Chains A and B, each alone.
Chain A
């Protein structure tokens, strides 16, 4: 089930909200756990067993680590949780990728496993890993209640698309959280803003990207429109989903971390990754990069650390070589920014332009189905391969999407938030705000009713 769907909006969520507020105390975690299992099982009923296994595994490992008296025992149970969960992730997500790569390398034709990829496996595996690692480090106490731990792992607001919520951040809220009408309404407001980003902006940009892909009349202009459209698509898709998750969290009394902070305003790739998918970046920093020594090591080791982290970041996004290359590209850019001091002294406009160009090219690579397609797309952007400058479809869609591009570009800046802040406290703002939310609800519902199912981009991550 996805948030931007009629079954979720008008069947699942209202029912869960109703039951959740009808019960009290620990019963609410039970409601969250059961509803999250229904949410998860809605798309993949056969994979519910894997989810339950993961919950029990990490719950027991957490208790074992917390209860162990010797460091050796703690390490053993931590290793058990890490090895088994990564093995499951590897089996379901990466096995065919490695088998296929090995076959290509050796000329063998090994059979693929072709397992169905469990929804959100990367998100919940990383959340669980943060739990046992934090218990091992003594940063949190192990959760004694299987029900509360299950509610944390499966919590549907952030189960399939993040943000990656660390146990430490919501441990107290799991047992003791407050609810209020204000929090409910603010959560609903945040949810509707996210829904609007996803349904009105992201899905329309996705349509343009799809029209480009289908077209046989590509041109330089069309390649650029595609690249910008995909850049906006992935931003509004993902940040919209994060907004919806954070809003739902507020409704149920949780405070999830922000996941995006206007990343396209960045003036360096380092800054970009502090603003883009912040929960993933900080997870890799705290659980991979720093344990490997971070930058307090020799230069050679540091280079190794950087490449390892960014290769893993790429792989986290998908089991294909273009994702690996995508990650490595950012690793190179980050090192370049550290080693070329003149880069940071360039005028702000140039730095901003360089970030946007690099990020755009990276997303072209990200969205390609193969290296050859990525190469053709990037070549097309610069007019190589005899691509004409303009084509009839490019001009047509440029005119058709002009306003949407404008809305999209403005939407990647804080302008809207600043305007809302300025008028928000005035009488006009008090009236306009609910009207705007009603408008968003009606228009998003209208798009969902009219359109077909539109899966979330990060669905399989």
Chain B
């Protein structure tokens, strides 16, 4: 009898926990954004006859209940820990941890995506570059998986096939191999991106191909950002990972450059320190995702100009390439149509660099 009472008493524990979580779910204050996932959280939807009959209230309430669940990040961590260590799964939502780095599994090679990217680059070449007399270069930035996937027993993209496809598909471009100039230490542990402070070697390889002065690390001293950096994979992995320190390389030359943003019509600086408060600290490099920027370098020793077609990796690399250039234009054709570029730019023999990361090339549907 005593044992039965004890048993009933103990079985109340999960019931009480369920009740407590319910009370939290009902009465905990709503949050606006998820810091770890860098996105706004769903709010309580409007309730009306229309939204009820159309079912939109129910759909939105499902999102709201998930997004606003109490201790949401802690629960996501419980899931990750159980998934990785309890079930011994090799990845969680395609993210895995190897050598302390959170890596997004980029697999398999998406031939449709490669084909789409090549098609867009060819269109760009045919429309603007074929007759411009430009020297054109192409550099592909390997992702972290290039250095870690095979070694850690994860699915490995066929990098050789990807590189070969772009080399063969862009016969009008000089192909720059960055793989030997980079190593896994050149990437953030918690983020997709590379570390700018570690880029001089890779920048030197690109500069040698462009025929301009490579950056000397001593000429570009490092500065530290005070705010700890939690990269995009920190939130996605939902595992306990230490924050990182972000550095950037700056000098007087870079400080003197002006950056013109075609979207806002305003001038700014290369390092936008106002972005230290933004959700993504990586936005301090050229203010984050921007469709069209021009950097004017008043101290350039030549009148040469460079146009860089790029993704977000380019924001931290371009400052290390621009010493000799009077003007560098950065174009992100994920955010601007190729066919309207001639409204803003004149293609007249500038050096041209295509600088794209593997994740973008293997998921290129966003390229317009």
Contact = CB atoms under 8 A, between A and B. Distances in A.
Interface of A: 1, 5-7, 9-11, 14, 42-46, 181-182, 184-185, 188-189, 192, 200, 204, 215-217, 392-393, 396, 399-404, 407, 425, 427, 430-431, 433-435, 437-438, 440-443, 445-451, 453
Given A449-B75, A450-B79, A42 B58 contact: yes
B1 to A, nearest CB: 13
B65 A6 contact: yes
A274 B3 CA distance: 37
Interface in B1-59: 3, 6-8, 10-15, 17-19, 21-22, 25-26, 52-55, 58
B78 interface: yes
Contacts of A437: 11, 13-14
A contacts with B: majority SS: helix
A10 B69 contact: yes
Interface in B135-151: none
B153 interface: yes
Given A399-B90, A449-B76, A46 B53 contact: yes
B154 A396 contact: yes
B15 A188 contact: yes
B108 interface: yes
B75 A445 contact: yes
Contacts of B108: 215-217, 393
B75 A446 contact: yes
Given A181-B8, A400-B91, 6 more contacts: A400-B90, A433-B10, A434-B10, A434-B12, A442-B75, A449-B66
Contacts of B10: 430-431, 433-434
A204 B13 contact: no
A437 B75 CA distance: 16
Contact of A185 (B3, B11, B58): B11
B204 interface: no
Given A5-B62, A42-B58, A188-B14, A442 B78 contact: yes
B87 A430 contact: no
Contacts of A449: 66, 69, 72, 75-76, 79
Given A188-B15, A404-B87, A182 B8 contact: yes
Interface string B146-172: 000000011110000000000000000
A175 B63 CA distance: 38
Contacts of A438: 13-14, 17
A216 B111 CA distance: 11
B contacts with A: majority SS: helix
A403 B87 contact: yes
Contacts of B78: 442-443, 446
19 contacts: A6-B66, A6-B69, A10-B22, A10-B25, A44-B55, A181-B8, A188-B14, A188-B15, A204-B87, A215-B108, A399-B153, A403-B88, A425-B3, A434-B13, A437-B14, A445-B75, A446-B76, A449-B66, A449-B69
B61 interface: yes
Contacts of B86: 443
Interface string B225-251: 000000000000010000000000000
Nearest to B68: A6
A10 B65 contact: yes
A437 B79 CA distance: 16
B69 A11 contact: no
Nearest to A453: B62
B13 A443 contact: no
B179 interface: no
A298 B3 CA distance: 59
Contact of B19 (A14, A399, A440): A14
Contacts of B61: 7
Contacts of B12: 185, 434
Contacts of A442: 17, 75, 78
B52 A450 contact: no
Contacts of B25: 6, 10-11
Contacts of A43: 55, 58
A427 to B, nearest CB: 8
A328 to B, nearest CB: 37
Nearest to A436: B14
Nearest to A215: B108
A437 B15 CA distance: 9
B82 interface: yes
B92 to A, nearest CB: 8
B366 interface: no
B87 A188 contact: no
Contacts of A185: 8, 11-12, 15
Contacts of A404: 87, 89
B62 A400 contact: no
Contact of A14 (B7, B18, B55, B69): B18
Contacts of B66: 6, 448-449
A441 B14 contact: yes
Contacts of A430: 3, 6-7, 10
B165 to A, nearest CB: 16
A45 B52 contact: yes
B329 to A, nearest CB: 38
A392 B158 CA distance: 11
A434 B12 CA distance: 8
A396 to B, nearest CB: 5
Query: Which 6 pairs show the lowest CB-CB distances between chains A and B?
Result: A446-B79, A400-B90, A446-B78, A437-B14, A450-B79, A449-B75
A443 B79 contact: yes
Interface in B76-101: 76-80, 82, 86-91, 93
A332 to B, nearest CB: 38
Nearest to B7: A430
Contacts of B69: 6, 10, 445, 449
A425 B7 CA distance: 9
